[in-house]
Structure 1
């Protein structure tokens, strides 16, 4: 049962945030159904806890100071059908392999944040989709409607918000079980490299690194060092705080501190399409205590960046604010420096991480939305070059990826051609790196981190 403080908070949020223009919200057919769904959500337990969010803020403060690196990755859009032990395990495999490459090869602690257990809502460039002369509402993620192109499937359904909560809870339970039950044990490094990845160039390189880790662990055992920290990892959840009816219903007052947290996830971000300074998303994010991210693209001005910082982090709390740059490979070297310089000139210490995916999307001749792996790599290189030139810290990587053997992005060391995209193109929204491509990217970033030390 919600406390009186939670009820008062929800009333305040609906009156203030709800009165502002909100981009990218669905056109719900019946408000009564929305009220019923949010009432159910308000009675449900937290998905995450305030103390966990505070710990992540502490970890991100270390990233901002240049003492750690953030790895954030997962599906473009999670699906209800994808909530299974196999799918969650495969995502964890990818993150664990990438993290171990970064940690061992670059000698840097890695903060691990999954785009999971909540990434069910997606912004769209158009409100409608047209196929063969038929116009239907765009697919906005499983939390809103269904992917199938039928009138019934595309009808926004508020009850799906409750289903998204339960899917997120199941995903978090699985992730916590894997992480706490021995799957993340550093002694298992070889078992993370099974299936199609093992025979790829990146997989073979990983095996050599895993062998060196085995030697290090054997030495530690010989001198009777056996740390419990080798057997588990910290894993945090994140998603775009896009669907405000859902996010406000899952905002609670922390009993320890008396301040509000959005308990739908540890780390929430505001997208490029919804970061209007006078809009509902920025206002909502300014009222919660979670660590917050903001996507910034090539059109972001230095003054806009500082206005967002003043609104979202007026107290300049270390670890509170992360800027996720999504510039495009051909733009980042020119567009990013003025933003970092403005922040530095104003004494703003934020976490800067690179999203090399969203600025590099194009449509292949087959009609598939895709990305070139070389463009992804070039944007990451540009991100590091800019920070190296300015003497600032390249804080992390934000990547859409999967643990499966999909063919959604072209190129890579085990290359995928444009005419092969259709063989295993499984995403319901944007193209993701498969696990081989993700591992290859991790080795590149490790080299860049090592060179930057």
Structure 2
């Protein structure tokens, strides 16, 4: 069967994946509909550009060298219904607030990558939902969350709809990033309001005051706080490259270089469930020029992770590969060290990032949730492991929202089990609300500050020549 002008078979290196096992793909009921959707996607303009993709690789190379920190965050699963201006604004706002705090704590640039403008598909543990007997909801790019047979029918034209939703989102994100919304002084005022109103505000008051003094010092030195460099930011997009037909349709060969790029987003990651070395996801994404992320769970062996690193970044390009560990608070301190030691000994440059969300999911009376303390403990464990090994804890990968939801337990707001039903709005996994996300940022900034102080003290103790 033909898709566009090429047959659905092995016609180029970019199509080798079609001959390999492909996990977590929908059971599309009509292949002619799938062909039509692919044709339309392949004819649409790219959502991002190859030079932008290369810029992100350069920024992530700084992270790999220990010269920057990565903050990646956003929705678990975007939905068409929630794709409103206010919700997009609030997610961007929360990410910017976190980034300012982390920048101060690390005293290095923070590379900002949003889970946005494409996170419309999700892997599932079963094809059939046990509670309803219906096909599982796989994200708005595949089917609808409504519990009816018609709604749950996989519809490939929803991939085309998700492209258009992503384009709308991306247009607004670009405007927020460059149109004054990201003004450093304004973002700091938002953080001051958080410190003032948060139940844990006193703990972060000193850091907020120090940031304010730093801004005042910059102004006193004649630095224009209204300059373009301080009123705009680089904000990149990312999503899980789950739906292979979507990712392949938006993969384009750049005329200037002859290199292929997946131009559905700046960064694409491979999930824990689809990172098989002999699988279709690893094969396709190993062939595009984007920065690639790969989720690594506690069952991954050091040899397996090293093989993945070599497969996804055979030329050892700095910034090309981010390994996103998702171990769980109780496992990270034991499972992560041998993996880091194995990969680092072999030499491929890697950004080490921590996803403290997915390994800490729990069930409370049939409701999927996470506890802030578990999230924080996994982050602590991530930093402890890197400190012990002398390696760079490169970043955080967080599921968050700009809304005041009650999906994760704990935090300064002391969200309890009885509160989960108050505003539980996620389409899939529980997210940190804006207060919990900012609290996490301040706590991580404290860790970064402490680590910076310890490095400075160690340098002072070194004998001089």
Q: Please report the TM-score for the alignment, with normalisation by the length of structure 2.
A: 0.92
Q: Over the residues paired in the alignment, what is the CA RMSD in angstroms? A: 2.1
Q: 1:281-320 to 2 correspondence within 5 Å?
A: 281-320=281-320
Q: What secondary structure sits across from 1:128 in the alignment?
A: coil
Structure 2: gaps (5+ residues): 453-465
Query: For residues 144 and 197 of structure 1, what CA distance do their matches in structure 2 show?
Result: 41
What residue in structure 1 maps to residue 367 of structure 2?
Answer: 368
Offset of residue 349 of structure 1: 1.9
Q: Which residue of 1 aligns with 2:461?
A: none
Contact 2:28-2:155 within 8 A present in 1 as well: yes
Larger displacement relative to structure 2 (369-378 or 343-352): 343-352
1:262/1:290 contact within 8 Å kept: yes
Measure the CA separation in 1 of the matches of 2:340 and 2:160.
Answer: 40
Say if 1:202 and 1:436, in contact at 8 Å, map to a contact too.
no
Q: 1:208 to 1:88 in 2, by over 3 A?
A: farther
Distance in 1 of aligned mates of 2:155 and 2:192: 40
Relative distance call for 1:348 and 1:160 in structure 2 (3 A) is same
| Residue in structure 2 matched with residue 63 of structure 1 by the alignment | 63
Residue ranges of structure 1 left out of the alignment (5+ in a row): none
Q: What displacement does 1:206 show?
A: 6.0
Q: Counterparts of 1:234 and 1:7 in 2: how far apart (Å)?
A: 39
Q: 1:25 Cα deviation (Å)? A: 0.2
SS in 2 for 1:92: helix
* Contact 1:143/1:164, CA 8 A, preserved across alignment: yes
Counterpart in the other structure of 2:223: 225
1:376-391 aligned within 5 A: 376-391=375-390
Alpha carbons of 1:383 and 1:214: their partners in 2 closer, same or farther (altered >3 Å)?
closer
- 3-state DSSP of counterpart to 1:224: coil
In the alignment, which residue of structure 2 is the partner of 1:351? 351
Deviation at 1:221, TM superposition (A): 3.1
Do the aligned partners of 1:98 and 1:442 also contact (CA within 8 Å) in 2? yes
- Distance in structure 2 (CA, Å) of the matches to 1:189 and 1:9: 50
**Deviation, structure 1 residue 16:** 1.4
1:198-237 correspondence runs (5 A):
199-202=197-200, 209-226=207-224, 227-237=227-237
The C-alpha deviation readout for 1:31-57, integer Å capped at 9, x for no partner, is: 000110110011111101111111110
Q: Which residue of 2 aligns with 1:443?
A: 442
* TM-score normalised by L of structure 1: 0.94
Distance 1:202 1:403 in 2: 18
Supply the distance in 2 between the matched residues of 1:352 and 1:420 (Cα, whole angstroms): 34
Tell me what 1:267 maps to: 267
Deviates more, 1:422-431 or 1:224-233: 224-233
CA distance in 2, matches of 1:17, 1:174: 34
Q: Distance in 2 between matches of 1:278 and 1:194?
A: 50
